[in-house]
Amino acid sequence: MRQLVESTGNSFTYRAFPTMPHSMHGHDPATYVATVTDWLTTLNRARTHEAS
């Protein structure tokens, strides 16, 4: 999957949560929010970089 995404010019960051149940948002909301917020920040940075 990583090669496919990167071959289109997009970045790919893999984060593993080996002890986390499937429902991260229900089991550990703080980690879920931090993970999604970090991801959104990278999207924002990429958009800002493309605009300049």
- Note down pLDDT in tens along the chain; length 52 residues: 999 999 998 888 899 999 999 999 999 999 999 999 999 998 877 777 677 6
Residue 14 lies in a domain: no
Residue 5 lies in a domain: no
Overall number of domains in the chain: 1
> Which range marks the domain in which residue 52 is found?
26-52
CA distances from 16 to 20, 22, 50 (A): 9, 12, 28
What pTM, to 2 d.p., does this model score? 0.69
22 DSSP 8-state letter? S
Residue 38 lies in a domain: yes
Euclidean distance between CA atoms 32 and 38, whole angstroms: 10
Residue 33 lies in a domain: yes
pLDDT at 51: 72
Burial annotation 4-33 (CB, 10 A radius, 16+ → b, else e)? eeeeeeeeeeeeeeeeeeeeeeeebeeebe
